[in-house]
Amino acid sequence: MNIYNDDVFQMACDQFQVIADYINIDKNDRDRLMFPKRAIAVTLPIHMDDGSTQTFQGYRVQHHLTLGPTKGGTRFTPNLSMGETAALAMWMSWKCALANLPYGGAKGGIACDPTMLSRRELEGVSRRYMQEMIPFVGPHTDIMGPDMGTNEQIMAWFMDTYSVYQGYAVSEIVTGKPVSIGGTEGRRESTGRGVVYLIERAMDMLKMDPEKCTAIIQGFGNVGSVAALAMALKVGVKVVGISDATVALFNPEGIDIKAADQHVAKKGNLRAFSEADRVDPNELLTMKCDILVPSAVDRVITVKNADKLQCRILAEGANGPTTPEADLLLNERSKEVFVIPDILCNAGGVIVSYFEWVQGLQSFLWTESEVTDKLFRILQHSFAQVIKRAKEHKVSHRTAAMAIGVERVMKAKQARGLFP
């Protein structure tokens, strides 16, 4: 029993133990690598529009500070807990280390449903959250970014609140800000773009012709919608299935993704989008396609459906979409299903966040094409390293990716030593 007690945290720990066994991490060093350095819980009382006062719970977990500040998103979701936040922070550590970014992982957020709050209430809860976090974050301590349920506007409120307290504009305290206050061109699209770039590398390797391929994308938020648009319009893959929290849609002739995107921009979700058939959201994952992109929530690929997946490429846009038990089944099917594990697949977001932070620190701006080129170079390098390690050591792509990340953190901890 510990303060992180939660199924998702347990899953992150189980994944870590698999890696620790594989790379023979001494038992004495495991807890030090696995448990978060710091965890902060705050209560946020807010004046609601109806005159009442409501309190929300907020969290921030900083996993390790060995390589530099911690970095990670802030999610506003109804059931957020300390355990889930800690699991996500741990995954951020391995993700940043795999991409060779000078960061430890972090994650934070507020247990709330942002769609049920007015703009004024949302601003209130966002500003209050940052205000409570001021003693614990900073451009060289912990840098927040966006995640589920948050956006550029919320990052702007965070930045403004922090800056007002410091007395000057501190753009480098958050990433994923609007471009008008030091945000980076292309940050919003970066996670989805990275997902699609890696899918293209996998298709090259497997000699798959995009024009003959179909894709199903679960989740139509910032990652899923950008990935769907790029797959359909740039890569030429036929997107036959999409879903969000309200509906799952399938059309074997291909879905007009531009129309779906415009529909969501107007209506807020896919519920009333009528250009495809409604299907059971769980069944969508096991329908036939070449590329399956879970880009919504964690633990959607489980022992119940892992042996039923009919895709050739599983590109994990979400954090933690596959449980360790499902992983064992997928390992047995490694010749049929090519997995691009989450900490590689969705790393585009934090990589471009890193560029945004560096630009903020240096008061310097790069163009969108410079940012995208640099992003693809890092992803290409990480992808090649993961594939090489998996082949040489005969391990899964996930094990290879996580081992590279965990080893980098472990080496840094060993080099710095244990004080006192």
| Active centre residues (catalytic) | 107
SS3 of 92, please? helix
Spatial separation of the C-alpha atoms in residues 230 and 235, rounded to whole Å: 6
Question: Is 24 or 79 the residue whose CB approaches ligand GLU more closely?
Answer: 79
Q: Which of 243, 322, 353, 382 binds ligand GLU (CB under 6 A)?
A: 353
What is the footprint of ligand GLU within residues 55-74 (CB under 6 A)? Answer: 71-73
User: What string marks each residue from 162 to 201 as x (binds ligand GLU by CB under 6 A) or -?
Assistant: -------------xx-------------------------
Reading the block at residue 213, the tokens are 């391929």
SS3 of 208, please? coil
In the complex, minimum distance from the CB of residue 342 to ligand GLU, in angstroms, rounded to a whole number:
9
Please check whether residue 54 is in contact with residue 88, taking contact to mean a CB–CB distance below 8 angstroms: no
Q: Which of 346, 359, 382, 399 binds ligand GLU (CB under 6 A)?
A: 346
What is the footprint of ligand GLU within residues 229-288 (CB under 6 A)? Answer: none
- Cα-based torsion angle of the residue sequence 332, 335, 341, 345 in order, rounded to the nearest 10 degrees: -170
Q: Which amino acid is at 181?
A: I
In the complex, minimum distance from the CB of residue 196 to ligand GLU, in angstroms, rounded to a whole number:
16
Reading the block at residue 255, the tokens are 């879905």
Q: Is the dihedral of CA 217, 221, 222, 225 positive or negative?
A: positive
In the complex, minimum distance from the CB of residue 143 to ligand GLU, in angstroms, rounded to a whole number:
7
In the complex, minimum distance from the CB of residue 175 to ligand GLU, in angstroms, rounded to a whole number:
5
| Residue 160 CB partners (closer than 8 Å, separation 6+) | 127
Residue 93 is a binding residue for ligand GLU (CB under 6 A): no
How many residues line the site for ligand GLU (CB under 6 A)? Answer: 13
What is the footprint of ligand GLU within residues 118-157 (CB under 6 A)? Answer: 145-147
Please check whether residue 16 is in contact with residue 410, taking contact to mean a CB–CB distance below 8 angstroms: no
Residue 409 is a binding residue for ligand GLU (CB under 6 A): no
Closest by alpha carbon to 217, among 277, 285, 278? 285
Binding site for ligand GLU (CB under 6 A): 71-73, 145-147, 175-176, 319, 346, 349-350, 353
